[in-house]
């Protein structure tokens, strides 16, 4: 019996997020969900509870920051998924797995938005604390941290795979760590103007900014230098995107 197109599409999508090769798709989905929750929920929730922004600001900014965080997570997850792909996949195969995993993006982001909406109840807790809202907000924060933890685990595994394949890792990793440390102390303690005065950049935000500088400034510069020292080797790509020896 001939398989239906919908069945084949579903089976390919499930394959893109399962097993060893499915790590590419899992990184993409987890980063997108965690980016939306962190941007639209956790970050604004912390600012609201600490009195850094008005309670109403969270309700207005949450959708915008959720979309921006999800898009940023989607992009970074796709890049890391391809760069930190398993050895059994070529770059073309990793891109193919990432593309198939997009079929799960809408339901995953839908769940992430429900969690973000629950976290937004922290705005109401500031003025009208109620037991049900406390339970809902607390549970949403817990689920949000679980999703962010999932993204951290998937990202750590991808980074380890990337480091194992990097021929200059013994030199490059310490250099990138040095860039991150310097950037961290540059950002730490600086002030950012917000609606209710200035916000001092703490260790968490300084770490995020330092990571951004390391990824988008330090890494391309270092890879460009190593590319001059080691010309790119040829890559054999099979029809299905799986490496063949």
What's the pTM?
0.79
25-39, 70-84, 201-215, 225-239: which range is least confident on average? 225-239
Using the 3D structure, point to which of 165, 182, 203 is the last residue of a domain: 165
Nearest Cα neighbor of 83 from 245, 219, 200, 228 is 219
Using the 3D structure, point to which of 138, 165, 192 is the last residue of a domain: 165
Q: What are phi and psi of 193, to 5 degrees?
A: -70, 130
Using the 3D structure, point to which of 165, 180, 209 is the last residue of a domain: 165
**Judgement on whether residues 177 and 143 belong to the same structural domain of the protein:** no
Please count the structural domains in the chain.
2
158 in Cβ contact with 21 (< 8 Å):
no
Q: What range defines the domain where residue 174 resides? A: 166-232
What gap in Å lies between CA 24 and CA 77, rounded to an integer?
A: 8
pLDDT tens track for 64-81: 889 999 999 999 999 999
**Average pLDDT, rounded, for the chain:** 81
Count of CB atoms situated within 10 Å of the CB of 123: 24
Confirm whether 240 is domain-assigned.
no
């Amino acid at each position: 019996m001939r398989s239906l197109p919908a069945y084949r599409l579903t089976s390919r999508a499930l394959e893109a997020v399962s097993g060893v090769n499915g790590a590419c798709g899992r990184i993409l989905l987890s980063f997108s969900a965690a980016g939306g929750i962190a941007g639209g929920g956790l970050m604004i929730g912390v600012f609201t509870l600490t009195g850094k922004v008005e309670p109403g600001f969270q309700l207005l900014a949450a959708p915008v920051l959720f979309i921006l965080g999800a898009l940023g997570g989607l992009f970074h997850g796709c890049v890391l998924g391809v760069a930190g792909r398993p050895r059994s996949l070529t770059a073309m195969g990793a891109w193919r797995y990432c593309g198939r995993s997009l079929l799960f993006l809408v339901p995953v982001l839908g769940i992430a938005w429900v969690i973000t909406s629950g976290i937004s109840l922290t705005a109401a807790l500031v003025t009208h604390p109620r037991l049900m809202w406390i339970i809902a907000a607390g549970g949403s924060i817990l689920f949000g941290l679980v999703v962010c933890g999932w993204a951290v685990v998937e990202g750590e595994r991808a980074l380890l795979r990337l480091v194992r394949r990097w021929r200059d890792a013994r030199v490059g990793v310490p250099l990138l760590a040095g860039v991150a440390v310097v950037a961290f102390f540059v950002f730490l303690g600086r002030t950012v103007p917000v609606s209710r005065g200035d916000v001092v950049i703490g260790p968490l935000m300084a770490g995020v900014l330092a990571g951004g500088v390391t990824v988008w400034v330090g890494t391309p510069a270092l890879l460009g230098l190593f590319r001059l020292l080691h010309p790119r080797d040829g890559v054999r790509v099979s029809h299905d995107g799986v490496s063949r020896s």
